[in-house]
A and B are shown apart, each in its own frame.
Chain A
Amino acid sequence: MSGSVMLGESSSWSRALVNISPYTFSAIGIAVAIGVSVLGAAWGIYITGSSLIGAAIKAPRITSKNLISVIFCEAVAIYGVIVAIILQTKLESVPASQIYAPESLRAGYAIFASGIIVGFANLVCGLCVGIIGSSCALSDAQNSSLFVKILVIEIFGSALGLFGVIVGIIMSAQASWPAKPV
């Protein structure tokens, strides 16, 4: 090691992290925000859609009402798009001397964590809404008074995606890059 002074203990993990550019972390965060959200939406739609189409063979009246379950799953993908767009507007270019400054490192980590939060919260929300939507379609086919009651459960499930979006946006406000020297 060439003449660097270590204050206190610091592990090699810290050294490895400090050498990764914050733009790497930001880009991965933005990609995860949209990619994994869309994965969750697609997964939910295929779970709901296959049950809905199968149940509609014997009970065609359920098709138009139960499309609302598909719309709840789709909303999850829209949350991911919105947050990914917000996160990418938080990216700023800093001069090369400042890329590894503590403030830019922190901004990169904030965007990364924000993307992870939104992506994975939307993934589980899409799965949850898809599973409940499928049982909603099946029970609606049996007894049409059940549709609205199971829809209440689906609304609870779709709130999870909203939690992810709220925390993601609050955390992205922490992504402040160092000001350019005048």
Chain B
Amino acid sequence: MPSTFSGDETAPFFGFLGAAAALVFSCMGAAYGTAKSGVGVASMGVMRPELVMKSIVPVVMAGVLGIYGLIIAVIISTGINPKAKSYYLFDGYAHLSSGLACGLAGLSAGMAIGIVGDAGVRHHSFVFKIGMLGITSMETDLIALISCTQT
């Protein structure tokens, strides 16, 4: 146990957990969106098979959420390098907040895409609303990028 204790040794814990939160929660949102709208597409496809390929849009937007989480997680985890640049508690908490911002926003966007995609696909009127949801998740992703580069 070192006699001078500054708490900075535990900073990587929060940093890595931020990267984990970014990826895991975005993947949860992407999975929910893909599954819920996929079930809607399959149900609608039984009656109208010709509309199925057009209805893939909500699934693609949900998949993009997973990619946002991947990007932020990789940026955070390659930024934790105490040999190159000292890693204080501030950096750890900044990474944690950016990971949570990206991940929880991706989770909510994915749930919204799933519910709206499912309903919209069953009514063939999905395109613009899904686009709006994708854009909100991209904005929160930009906020996450800015906060993880504060270090």
Give the B-binding residues of A (Cβ under 8 A): 3-11, 13-15, 17-19, 100, 102-103, 105-106, 109-110, 112-114, 116-117, 120-121, 124-125, 127-128, 131-132, 135-136, 138-139, 142-143, 145-146, 149-150, 152-154, 156-157, 159-160, 163-164, 166-167, 170-171, 174
Contact = CB atoms under 8 A, between A and B. Distances in A.
17 contacts: A5-B3, A7-B6, A17-B10, A102-B9, A113-B17, A117-B24, A124-B24, A124-B27, A139-B42, A146-B52, A149-B53, A150-B38, A153-B56, A157-B34, A157-B35, A160-B34, A170-B74
Interface in B74-96: 74, 77-78, 80-82, 89
B27 A6 contact: no
**Which of B16, B41, B70, B78 counts the most chain A CB atoms within 10 A?**
B16
Given A100-B1, A121-B24, A167-B19, 9 more contacts: A5-B5, A14-B89, A102-B82, A135-B42, A146-B42, A146-B49, A166-B74, A170-B74, A171-B16
Given A110-B16, A139-B43, A127 B35 contact: yes
A164 B27 contact: yes
Interface of B: 1-10, 12-13, 16-17, 19-20, 23-24, 27-28, 30-32, 34-35, 38-39, 41-43, 45-46, 49, 52-53, 56, 59-60, 62-63, 66-67, 69-70, 73-74, 77-78, 80-82, 89
A57 B69 CA distance: 41
A25 B70 CA distance: 23
B20 A113 contact: yes
Given A105-B12, A112-B16, A159 B66 contact: yes
A66 to B, nearest CB: 12
A159 B45 contact: no
B100 to A, nearest CB: 14
Contacts of B60: 156
B55 to A, nearest CB: 9
B16 A113 contact: yes
Given A3-B3, A138-B42, A157-B31, A109 B23 contact: no
A167 B56 contact: no
B45 A127 contact: no
Nearest to B34: A157
B23 A143 contact: no
A116 to B, nearest CB: 5
